[in-house]
Structure 1
Amino acid sequence: GFRRGRLLEKLGQKSLDTAELFFDGVRVPAANLLGEAEGRGFTQLMQQLPRERLLIAVGAVATMRRAIDETVAYTRTRQVFGQPLIDMQNTRFKLAECETVATIAARFVDDCITRQLEGVLDLSTAAMAKWWTTQMNCQVIDECLQLHGGYGYMLEYPIARMYADARVGKIYGGSNEIMKEIIARGMTA
């Protein structure tokens, strides 16, 4: 009853296979039941979504940090108009903006991790963390890619792969539009 379909070709995250899975008439022995009771799978999944969204936020923060570090290293060595790119005011200002966003994101996610460990991370806060950090991750990576110029568009540079890989963060774990709905519902409940 189980078969694997074709491998799907994705924009990013090329190192992770994604395939269609088909479960046609699969029967699972009672001894192999996951969770408390049959028919509660969706409920169990929903209970884990704040944790999943927090993990996505952690990944977004880590990726922001790497993008900034890669870009600082690149701009130190890239010569433009006879000087390192990092010596140009616009470059420093863009990097300062990215660093500020990454620092705020890290502090927020650290607070969410503390809440998760205490068992009090609520749906709205987890949704905020997932939504905001993935949005900011894409924004920071875009700014960093821009500072790489044409090299940033080449897959041999890590920033280009980060750009492609980061985009799915705004989709999986619930799209960012769904995150906004969860946040709004929490405000009006």
Structure 2
Amino acid sequence: MESLSQRVGSIFQSLTSSIDKNVIQAETLRVLSEKHEKCENVREYVKLLVSNIAFNVESTKVVYTLLRSLIEQKQFPYIPGISQVTNDAQDRIEESMEQLFPIYSSKLVEHDIVDDEVIKKVESVFASSKIEQDLTIIFMEAFAEEKNREIFVPLFTCTPEEVDEVVKKYSSLYALMLLDQVEFEQQPAEQA
């Protein structure tokens, strides 16, 4: 598993080396600001972010399910097929949001209290879930490219669970590194 970790770490290093952390951070804050402006109050804003977090996390889970299946079958991804499966799954996730929202909300917003601390927490989780989702998709796209086959072939010697665990670890780590020192500072919580 050590060599798997080193290989996947190297892949993520390569995939993220040209990403400008400042651009990612500015874009994240811009998206949060836009979402905040669309909402009438902070309670609505937090609800929107929790829904987005649920969508991001559930969508990413679908990609990991596909990754495990590909590793098990020792197949390289076919991006149009993966895109279709992912789009179909995202439609189902949207349809399930009524059931998903309370699950995610209960983990992020305790006792239905929305204060500055909760807002920062939800903004941070939203940002990291979105970047993790993006990095996982970038990983799958690189996995699919024929020019990268030699780099990815060794993944087939590992179990699907091992690959899944290590890719999750690095997508999370790199998301956190890209968001390092971002100050989530939206409007203070108003009474709702």
| TM-score w.r.t. length of structure 2 | 0.38
User: Whose relative contact order is higher, 1 or 2, with alpha carbons under 8 Å and at least 6 apart?
Assistant: 2
| TM-score w.r.t. length of structure 1 | 0.38
Q: Give the structure with the larger strand fraction.
A: 1
Larger radius of gyration: 1
